């Protein structure tokens, strides 16, 4: 059967579009740059949300919900912030049949409105740290939209916290970056990342430091999977977020913000997908096993139901595909959707006392007794999860090149990442890289750990083309 997708090697962006469409992940919305997330894409996002949310709650933050509409004047209070976001704003000028006295913007991010209410709610050091998060939609007008990767509206979580000291703020946001984002990326998304801080030129508008997790896609480009910001006292000054300290004096808070979005779905597709479609890591997959009836036949369906029930009891997320289109067509569709394991149940196999078990990552097919499926599957899923991570790590390492000059970095960035001494780059180097759409993705220490500031000595940097 001919593949339904453009091969990656032929045209990676078109392969991506094909997967998004044929796996029924998302469609373009009617307003330019917006998207409709279809049930399969949304089920993946729901699993991401669940895994990230539990980690956020473990980190002590509580969910809340702040308004979609922000007075235009709020953004102007933090100079860098308004400069960074103004070009991307959507503005409501009319509501309830009348022209609004002050136009309101649709939130592009919510530091300003969180700041306003933190100032109201925080009185003393006893109210700190204040640890908040919200799951919400945000709007940043995109001129070159791409489903999941760059959409004018996207879904995300944004955490906002206030602390009584730089040290506490810094330690907290570092913990979020490491124990929420990177832990999720490694353990659930099976994706190794370069963890580091952004160079000053790439910081979030209004931040004193931005941390990032950079993933490598299969075309060698980078995708920023999540970012966490130390905001210093910039927003505390702009929104008057003060507290009475233990000595009874009034002091400014230190705030942070951190976010991850539906962009993660794009990263999932581009890191793990192959020419047959998506491959979803078992820990993430909304459907871990699909039990497919080769033919619609009572005996076959009974066997499918029995296997699915046993898998469900074993804690596996399972569904049954009992027909409709041809068997071959259905197999292709499940491959495109990247369900980790297929159990194919056919009358001839059943007569011999077996069913076929096929792994999506290796296409390895084994015959197994129907009664043995439920006992085998959990172990196979775990093995697949760790092998997917190992294979990503190997690919990433093989495509990251240590180089000694900007020129070599530019060459290496055509197919992967380059790593070089940060002092070899500097503002002039960054400008030169940008002539070929290459940027410094992050700064790291030589051992790969995350620096505290970009002023640390002896840092290295990762440079790449990016989404």
User: Residues interacting with a second copy, by CB under 8 A?
Assistant: 27, 29-31, 34-39, 42-43, 45-46, 62-71, 74, 86-97, 103-104, 106, 113, 116-117, 120, 126, 132, 136-137, 139, 141-143, 152-153, 155, 324
Whose Cβ is closer to a second copy: residue 32's or residue 404's? Answer: 32
Least CB distance from residue 380 to a second copy, whole Å?
Answer: 26
Whose Cβ is closer to a second copy: residue 74's or residue 389's? Answer: 74
Separation CA 250–CA 246 (nearest Å) = 10
Whose Cβ is closer to a second copy: residue 152's or residue 332's? Answer: 152
Separation CA 377–CA 302 (nearest Å) = 19
Helices (H), 122-278: 166-175, 183-187, 234-239, 263-272
Whose Cβ is closer to a second copy: residue 47's or residue 395's? Answer: 47
Least CB distance from residue 262 to a second copy, whole Å?
Answer: 8
Least CB distance from residue 408 to a second copy, whole Å?
Answer: 37
Q: Are 167 and 202 in contact (CB under 8 A)?
A: no
Whose Cβ is closer to a second copy: residue 117's or residue 202's? Answer: 117
Least CB distance from residue 190 to a second copy, whole Å?
Answer: 24
Distances (CA, A) of 369 to 297, 303, 345, 355, 376: 19, 11, 11, 6, 10
Q: Are 318 and 268 in contact (CB under 8 A)?
A: no
Whose Cβ is closer to a second copy: residue 82's or residue 461's? Answer: 82
Least CB distance from residue 324 to a second copy, whole Å?
Answer: 7
Q: Both tokens of residue 369?
A: 């007794």
Secondary structure class of 138 (helix, strand, coil): strand
Q: What are the two backbone dihedrals, phi and then psi, of residue 218, each rounded to the nearest 5 degrees?
A: -70, -15
Least CB distance from residue 148 to a second copy, whole Å?
Answer: 12
Least CB distance from residue 108 to a second copy, whole Å?
Answer: 11
Whose Cβ is closer to a second copy: residue 30's or residue 328's? Answer: 30
Separation CA 43–CA 286 (nearest Å) = 6
Nearest-5° Cα angle at 342, 336 to 347: 125
Separation CA 408–CA 168 (nearest Å) = 40
Secondary structure class of 136 (helix, strand, coil): strand
Label the pairing between strands 355-359 and 365-368: antiparallel
């Amino acid at each position: 059967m001919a593949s339904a997708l453009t091969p990656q090697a032929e045209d990676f962006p078109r392969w991506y579009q094909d997967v998004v469409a044929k796996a029924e992940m998302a469609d373009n919305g009617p307003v330019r740059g917006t998207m409709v997330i279809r049930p399969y894409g949304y089920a993946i996002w729901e699993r991401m949300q669940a895994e990230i949310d539990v980690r956020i709650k473990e980190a002590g933050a509580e969910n809340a919900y702040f308004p979609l509409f922000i007075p235009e004047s709020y953004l102007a209070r933090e100079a860098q912030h308004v400069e960074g976001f103004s070009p991307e704003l959507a503005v409501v000028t009319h509501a309830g049949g009348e022209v609004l006295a002050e136009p309101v913007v649709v939130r592009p991010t919510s530091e300003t409105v969180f700041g306003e209410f933190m100032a109201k709610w925080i009185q003393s050091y006893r109210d700190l740290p204040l640890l908040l998060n919200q799951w919400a939609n945000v709007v940043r007008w995109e001129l070159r939209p791409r489903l999941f990767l760059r959409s004018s509206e996207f879904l995300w979580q944004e955490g906002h916290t206030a602390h009584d000291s730089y040290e506490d703020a810094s330690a907290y946001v570092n913990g979020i970056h490491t124990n929420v984002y990177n832990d999720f990326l490694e353990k659930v998304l099976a994706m190794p990342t370069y963890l580091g801080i952004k160079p000053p030129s790439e910081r979030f508008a209004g931040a004193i430091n931005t941390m990032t997790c950079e993933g490598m896609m299969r075309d060698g480009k980078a995708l920023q999977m999540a970012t966490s910001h130390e905001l210093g006292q910039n927003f505390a000054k702009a929104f008057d977020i003060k507290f009475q300290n233990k000595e009874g004096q009034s002091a400014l808070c230190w705030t942070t913000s951190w976010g991850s979005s539906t962009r993660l779905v794009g990263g999932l597709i581009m890191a793990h997908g192959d020419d047959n479609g998506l491959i979803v890591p078992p820990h993430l997959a909304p459907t871990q096993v699909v039990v497919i009836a080769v033919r619609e036949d009572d005996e076959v369906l009974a066997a499918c139901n029995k296997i699915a029930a046993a898998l469900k009891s074993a804690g596996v997320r399972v569904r049954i595909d009992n027909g409709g289109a041809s068997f071959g067509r259905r197999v292709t569709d499940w491959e495109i959707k990247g369900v980790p394991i297929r159990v194919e149940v056919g009358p001839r196999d059943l007569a011999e006392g077996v069913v076929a078990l096929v792994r999506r990552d290796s296409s390895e097919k084994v015959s197994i007794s129907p009664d043995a499926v439920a006992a085998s599957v959990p172990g196979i899923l775990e093995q697949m999860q760790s092998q997917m991570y190992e294979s990503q790590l190997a690919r990433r390492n093989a495509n990251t090149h240590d180089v000694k000059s900007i020129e070599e970095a530019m060459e290496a960035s055509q197919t992967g990442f380059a790593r070089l001494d940060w002092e070899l780059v500097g503002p002039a180097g960054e400008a030169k890289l940008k002539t070929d759409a290459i940027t410094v993705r992050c700064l790291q220490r030589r051992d790969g750990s995350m620096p505290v500031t970009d002023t640390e000595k002896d840092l290295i940097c990762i440079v790449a083309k990016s989404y």
